[in-house]
């Protein structure tokens, strides 16, 4: 594809930011738009585990993106830290899954996929994670699972983009429609006026279906609310991520511990609720009893972009020249972002793709 391309990216979450970051060196100009501040929706709200919560339960299309991203995250973080001075804090702690109903399926998946997942005796888990609650009977463990501190990842990507002369970021700039010239999408209409481009990319998370609906297309992406709470503890309290009964605890390097998360189908309402707060606090104390006396410093909600089987839409939109999607990552936007955005850049620039793009193609799926 010719260098003299102007690419307009709608949506400034991690997917939009990283798409812009990957394209900036290859195209003439990148314009990134967000209706609020960049990275303030699910990218900010998520936990940042660099793995699907239950990777063996996912379609191989999700697994393929996850494996590529997991291997790539440390070098992406190093590059961003070196460039911006903002450390995304990719923190490799490992992850224990406790009392899984489908443990045998998980172990078979790991053997098939060559992932370092193994069964561990409970006394060994209690020795490795002394603060873990008692009463669990089985565990499996993967040592190389990391978490990324997602608000810092957003901050680092934003700083990297601001340093690029050919990238323009418009925050608080809501897209109201598309500029159509025949079958070509030539840009977008915003409250601040027209913004034209040779290619238009939708990376608007849970709102992607709303925008595509303006073109008469039905994209099965829906908002799925998730609520989280945050404690402040000593930095060495929790040494590893732990997950039981669908709830997880994630330690940050500085002692913050995240507990999440709910799954709620409440439309675009992202109001935190007392019911969820009490449920999350109960899960926190069941996982780590010491959290009963810890300082609770945060409670929030975000909207995941739910999609069929959690398989994102990555590629051209049939029937609309110049229109592309990189959206619909459901619960795995942070873990899938590096691979999704690399694959997207490969497709837009006409390069050999890192993995087979067919499962993610919008054609036939919308």
Per-residue pLDDT, 3: 55
CATH of 95-143+222-306, one of 3.40.50.2300, 3.30.9.10, 2.40.110.10, 3.40.50.300: 3.30.9.10
Per-residue pLDDT, 1: 45
What secondary structure letter does DSSP report for 10?
A: E
Instruction: Mention every residue, 6+ apart, whose C-beta is less than 8 A from residue 242.
Output: 95, 96, 98, 129, 132, 248, 249, 287, 288
Tokens (6 digits) for 311 = 């398989």
Percentage of residues of the chain with pLDDT beyond 90: 97
Beta bridge partners, 244, equal: 98, 247
Residues 357 and 343 sit within 8 Å (Cβ to Cβ): yes
pTM, to two decimals: 0.96
CATH topology of domain 6-48+152-221+309-360: FAD/NAD(P)-binding domain (3.50.50)
Q: How far apart are CA 319 and CA 357, in angstroms?
A: 19
Residue with the two structure tokens 């970021």: 169
Residue with the two structure tokens 């459901």: 330
Length of the chain: 366
**42 vs 206, 226, 242, CA distance in Å?**
9, 9, 22
What secondary structure letter does DSSP report for 41?
A: S
Do domains 6-48+152-221+309-360 and 95-143+222-306 share one topology? The answer is no
The candidate with the shortest Cα–Cα distance to 290, out of 236, 226, 247, is: 236
Per-residue pLDDT, 2: 46
State phi, psi for 170 to the nearest 5 degrees.
-115, 105
Q: How far apart are CA 315 and CA 202, in angstroms?
A: 10
Listed as ranges, residues in the chain with pLDDT below 50 are: 1-2
Residue ranges covered by each domain of the chain: 6-48+152-221+309-360, 95-143+222-306
């Amino acid at each position: 594809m010719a260098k003299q391309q102007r690419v307009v990216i709608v949506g400034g979450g991690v997917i939009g930011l990283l798409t812009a970051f990957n394209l900036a060196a290859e195209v003439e100009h990148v314009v990134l738009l967000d209706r609020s501040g960049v990275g303030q929706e699910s990218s900010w709200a998520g936990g940042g585990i660099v793995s699907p919560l239950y990777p063996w339960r996912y379609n191989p299309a999700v697994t393929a993106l996850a494996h590529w991203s997991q291997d790539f995250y440390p070098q992406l973080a190093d590059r961003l830290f070196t460039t911006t001075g903002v450390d995304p804090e990719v923190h490799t702690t490992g992850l224990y899954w406790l009392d899984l109903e489908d443990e045998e399926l998980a172990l078979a998946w790991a053997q098939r996929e060559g992932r370092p997942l193994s069964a561990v005796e409970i006394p060994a888990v209690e020795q490795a994670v002394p603060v873990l609650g008692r009463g669990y009977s089985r565990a499996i463990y993967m040592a190389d699972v990391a978490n990324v501190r997602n608000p810092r990842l957003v901050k680092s990507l934003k700083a990297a983009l601001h340093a690029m002369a050919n990238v323009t970021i418009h925050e608080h700039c809501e897209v109201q429609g598309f500029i159509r010239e025949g079958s070509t999408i030539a840009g977008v209409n915003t409250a601040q006026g027209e913004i034209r481009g040779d290619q238009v990319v939708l990376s608007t998370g849970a709102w992607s279906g709303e925008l595509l609906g303006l073109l008469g297309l039905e994209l099965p992406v829906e908002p799925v609310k998730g609520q989280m709470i945050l404690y402040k503890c000593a930095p060495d309290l929790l040494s590893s991520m732990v997950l039981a009964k669908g709830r997880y605890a994630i330690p940050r390097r500085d002692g913050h511990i995240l507990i999440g998360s709910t799954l709620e189908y409440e439309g675009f309402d992202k109001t935190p609720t007392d019911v969820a707060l009490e449920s999350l606090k109960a899960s926190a104390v069941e996982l780590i009893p010491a959290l009963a006396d810890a300082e609770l410093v945060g409670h929030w909600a975000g909207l995941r972009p739910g999609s069929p089987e959690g398989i994102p839409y990555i590629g051209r939109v049939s029937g609309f020249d110049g229109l592309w999607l990189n959206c619909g990552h459901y619960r795995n936007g942070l873990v899938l972002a590096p691979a999704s955005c690399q694959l997207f850049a490969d497709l837009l620039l006409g390069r050999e793709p890192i993995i087979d793009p067919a499962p993610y193609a919008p054609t036939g799926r919308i």
